[in-house]
Amino acid sequence: MSAEMGLGGQDCVANENGIPLPEEVRKAALEELREDENIKQQSLDQMKEWINKHPNIKRCRTDNKFLLRFLRTKKFSVPLACEMLERYLIIRQLYPDWFKNLDYEDKDLKEIIDNGYIVPLVDRIDGKLVIFSAADKFDPYKYTAAHMIRVHSLVSEALMDDELNQIYGYVYINDVAGFQMGHISLWSLKDVRNIFHCVQNSSPMRHKANHFINMSPAAAKLIEFGLTFLNDKLRNRTFINPSLDALHEKIDPKILPKEYGGVVPLSELTEKLKTLLKERREQVLSLDDMYIEIDERECKLVSEMNEELGVGLEGSFKKLTVD
């Protein structure tokens, strides 16, 4: 299994200064996304025209790197990319507690990052960026479900403009050894439905694989329940590994944090992430300047997306019976 270096650094944003992407990256973009320079430029022009003519979009980023988030996620289908952008703008306004004011200097978010709850890894899997999280680093008695979503949103927004990430996508590794009843009690069924809806329909990220490790039977049943909200493609890309050894059979342990058989300690990975978040703080906060007027048509669009995931879910995971 090949691995490439890079944690959202200059190697990922070479095109920002007009420098062409490396040949192997351009080849991957062509093979996976049907992307070449002509298609890219035509699609960007069409998307910018659509934004300018959209009656409800009042303010929106129109730089190439931002729009390529959506075009690459939708493999340069301009209508699908425009639809995802519209949903992205709507969702940000419908759920501001999750997606707005993602300030790294926020006391709670900074503490969660400092604790090492979530980190991008240094080595990539065949170009894909690996995002690692550990449940035992998140205190469910001090923080809320909104805190958990916000810290994931903050890290995602800081990474999404990087072109390698847009082209190759992401792999997630989640250690749930520390998953306890406190974590379960944070979530209402409605929140679970809504966050999966946001990930599937509004997040301009190529989700390539999602691994869970150190699963107890109880945690496994709860996660399997959550998987019912995913579409077939994402469900088939989710892997439940009962142990770290089981994960090592699928992923080269060298890329993992040192505590999990790799080379780089979690503390060092956390410091790298903190540097990145400081550098991109203003860029992430500036996303709050975007604005779309939500009218009846947009509300209907959101309602239809909710129906795909199942309406009428109320209550919380506290009520679930797990053997």
Domain residue ranges of the chain, discontinuous segments joined by +: 7-323
Binned at pLDDT 50, 70 and 90, residue 300 comes out as low
Per-residue confidence (pLDDT) for residue 305, from 0 to 100: 52
| 62 — pLDDT class (breaks 50, 70, 90) | very high
pLDDT over threshold 70, residue 99: yes
- Asked if residue 133 has pLDDT above 90, the reply is yes
Above 80 in pLDDT, residue 11? no
Which has more pLDDT, 105 or 12?
A: 105
Nearest to 214 by CA among 178, 180, 254: 178
pLDDT tens, position by position, 275-296: 999 999 999 999 999 999 997 6
Q: Would you place residue 248 in the very low, low, confident or very high pLDDT band (cuts 50, 70, 90)? A: very high
Give start and end residues of each alpha helix (H) in the chain: 23-33, 37-53, 64-73, 78-94, 96-99, 107-114, 145-159, 163-168, 181-185, 189-201, 217-227, 232-236, 244-248, 266-279, 281-285, 296-309
Instruction: Say what the pTM is.
Output: 0.86
**CA dist., res. 177 & res. 136, Å (int):** 7
Q: Which CATH class is domain 7-323?
A: alpha beta
pLDDT at 152: 97
169: left (phi over 0), alpha (psi -120 to 50) or beta: left
